[in-house]
């Protein structure tokens, strides 16, 4: 087999050579000091030993952060990069070749770097929780195909998952919901511990992925309001729902206690998660409660606002300031663009476009950086693989062909907007996903196809011709995967 027939995502430049490098337990690994940690990972992941120079990691300055050069001959493998991240991307390519070539690595030369800086995967752990072991398995596989962002959805209507000092009711009330399909009062859910969160974060960092926690605001907060009803417009009582949808209960825009809580919560989350970003939600926020709330109506008069939906921009702007004070950069779903006629939006806010590409394009025109994650173009992996009653999935369909065709922006897009698009992201919402094996089936092989489109986009037919290869990779990685038609 040639390297060109074994690699996905496809490198930017690959030249096949004759012969193979035979990988075995006596193969030795060496690395220059900057890349020593990658040398250790290489030995562990490929079953080699440290010491000699059968596999050599060398520093080559003035290469881009994630770029690498890989030379594989019959007698030696040489990796060149300017950073540990670039070296790790090369190691991931080597590992895929070893997995699919059964430790016979085809000789070749590769020069590679990504097309997009943001290559993400979101996992919803509010609706259904997943073990640290499974999350680490996903991070390992995602990094193997060059994804570099783990967006962790940790709060929503159906459960709050982040521990905060001084807020004990998050554990006793907000993290649990009564399972209404049973009559015995059983509950579902808990908080992740700080130790678990730090374990996931450390593992992601070792795999050169950033972790982006999400705190939903100002909507999707039923669980929080159940624990602290004073943060809502009606003051409760509220309950953690065991049903799915959009709920009218939202944070009260006219109550300063809301911002006192958010300042503390954001500060604690920012201290726990060390990467540069914090997602503030912003999606699917009804305005019904604001319409009827005297405090919110007074806030509107103070600000000179004419309609309740404009409070969304007010909330977004204040929350973004809290995020920035905590040393992070805010990200919000594309609804943050709504109601901004008078108050506008902070320019530093990154917009994640999920309701098609249009919101992202509009945000890019306004000068915001953008992450494309449209449910209309194959990015929602809770959707069915196929429009069939025999397939699991929820709300829609994202076929393999849809994912294989994904592009972060139309080619005709104005270059000034194009340069604001950081990349894209796959999302797995889990209202109907309650086990790791269900999650795997919905994620694979779609996640591999998405990774390819974010690293080095190809025509859909080129991607789909690799279907059998992707299936082999799923089998080698021990993940359950969809094996049906592509569309």
> What is the average pLDDT value for the chain, to the nearest integer?
97
In a domain, 487, yes or no: no
291 and 433 assigned to the same domain: yes
Whether residue 371 contacts residue 423, with contact meaning beta carbons closer than 8 Å, is answered with yes
Query: For residue 158, what is the domain's CATH number?
Result: 3.20.20.80
258 and 180 assigned to the same domain: yes
Residue pLDDT, tens place only, 461-480: 999 999 999 999 999 999 99
DSSP codes of every residue in 11-47: PSEEEEEEEEEE--TT-EEEE-GGGHHHHHHHHHHHT
Residue ending a domain, among 63, 81, 112, is 112
Does the structure show a pLDDT above 90 at 1? no
89 and 125 assigned to the same domain: no
* Burial profile 59-87: b = 16 or more Cβ within 10 angstroms, e = fewer: beeebeebbbbbbbeeeebbbbbbbbbbb
Let me know if 13 is a catalytic residue: no
In a domain, 481, yes or no: no
266 and 218 assigned to the same domain: yes
Band of the pLDDT at 410, cuts 50, 70, 90? confident
384 and 470 assigned to the same domain: yes
Across 327-346, average pLDDT:
96
Separation of alpha carbons 16 and 436, rounded Å: 38
In a domain, 140, yes or no: yes
Residue ending a domain, among 97, 112, 127, is 112
Catalytic residue from among 54, 113, 156, 440 = 156
Which range marks the domain in which residue 446 is found?
A: 118-476
161 and 286 assigned to the same domain: yes
In a domain, 363, yes or no: yes
Catalytic residue from among 146, 220, 309, 385 = 220
330 and 441 assigned to the same domain: yes
51 and 134 assigned to the same domain: no
Domain count, the chain: 2
314 and 454 assigned to the same domain: yes
Catalytic residue from among 32, 65, 179, 284 = 284
229 and 145 assigned to the same domain: yes
134 and 107 assigned to the same domain: no
Let me know if 284 is a catalytic residue: yes
295 and 364 assigned to the same domain: yes
Residue pLDDT, tens place only, 39-98: 999 999 999 999 999 999 999 999 999 999 999 999 999 999 999 999 999 999 999 999
Query: How many H helices and E strands in the chain?
Result: 17, 19
Helix, strand or coil, per DSSP, at residue 244: coil
Residue ending a domain, among 112, 127, 150, is 112
Band of the pLDDT at 411, cuts 50, 70, 90? confident
Let me know if 124 is a catalytic residue: no
């Amino acid at each position: 087999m040639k390297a060109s027939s074994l690699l996905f995502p496809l490198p930017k430049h690959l030249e096949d050579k004759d012969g193979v490098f035979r990988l075995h337990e006596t193969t030795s690994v060496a690395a220059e000091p900057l890349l020593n940690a990658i040398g250790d990972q290489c030995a562990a992941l490929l079953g080699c030993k440290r010491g000699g120079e059968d596999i050599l990691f060398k520093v080559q300055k003035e290469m881009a952060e994630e770029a690498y050069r890989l030379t594989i001959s019959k007698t030696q493998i040489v990796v060149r990069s300017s950073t540990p991240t670039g070296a790790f991307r090369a190691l991931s390519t080597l590992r895929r070749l070893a997995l699919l070539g059964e430790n016979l690595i085809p000789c070749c030369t590769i020069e590679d770097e990504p097309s997009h800086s943001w290559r993400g995967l979101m996992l919803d752990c509010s609706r259904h929780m997943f073990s640290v072991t499974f999350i680490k398995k996903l991070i390992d596989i995602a990094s193997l195909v060059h994804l570099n962002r783990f967006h962790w959805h940790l709060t929503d209507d159906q459960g709050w998952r982040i521990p905060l000092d001084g807020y004990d009711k998050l554990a006793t009330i907000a993290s649990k919901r009564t399972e209404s399909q049973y009559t015995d009062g059983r509950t579902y859910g808990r908080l992740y511990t700080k130790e678990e969160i730090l374990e996931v974060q450390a593992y992601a960092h070792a795999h050169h992925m950033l972790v982006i926690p999400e705190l939903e605001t100002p909507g999707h907060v039923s669980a929080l309001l159940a624990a602290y009803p004073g943060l809502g417009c009606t003051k409760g009582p509220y309950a953690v729902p065991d049903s799915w949808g959009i709920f009218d209960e939202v944070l009260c825009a006219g109550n300063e206690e809301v911002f006192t809580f958010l300042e503390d919560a954001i500060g604690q989350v920012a201290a726990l998660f060390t990467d540069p970003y914090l997602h503030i939600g912003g999606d699917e926020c009804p305005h019904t409660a604001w319409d009827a709330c005297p405090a919110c109506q007074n806030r509107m008069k103070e600000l000179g606002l004419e309609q309740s939906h404009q409070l969304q921009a007010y909330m977004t702007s204040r929350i973004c300031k809290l995020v920035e004070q905590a040393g992070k950069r805010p990200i919000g779903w594309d609804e943050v663009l709504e109601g901004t006629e008078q108050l506008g939006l902070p320019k530093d806010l990154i917009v994640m476009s999920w309701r098609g590409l249009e919101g992202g394009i509009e945000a890019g025109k306004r000068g915001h950086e953008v992450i494309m994650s449209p449910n209309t173009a194959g990015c929602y992996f809770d959707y069915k693989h196929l429009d069939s009653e025999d397939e699991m999935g929820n709300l829609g369909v994202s076929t393999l062909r849809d994912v294989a065709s994904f592009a972060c922006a139309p080619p005709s897009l104005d270059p000034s907007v194009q340069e604001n698009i950081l990349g894209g992201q796959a999302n797995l919402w889990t209202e109907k996903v309650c086990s790791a094996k269900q999650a795997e089936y919905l994620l694979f092989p779609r996640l591999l196809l998405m990774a390819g489109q974010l690293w080095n986009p190809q025509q859909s037919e080129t991607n789909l011709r690799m279907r059998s290869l992707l299936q082999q990779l799923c089998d080698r990685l021990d993940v359950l995967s969809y094996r049906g038609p592509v569309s």
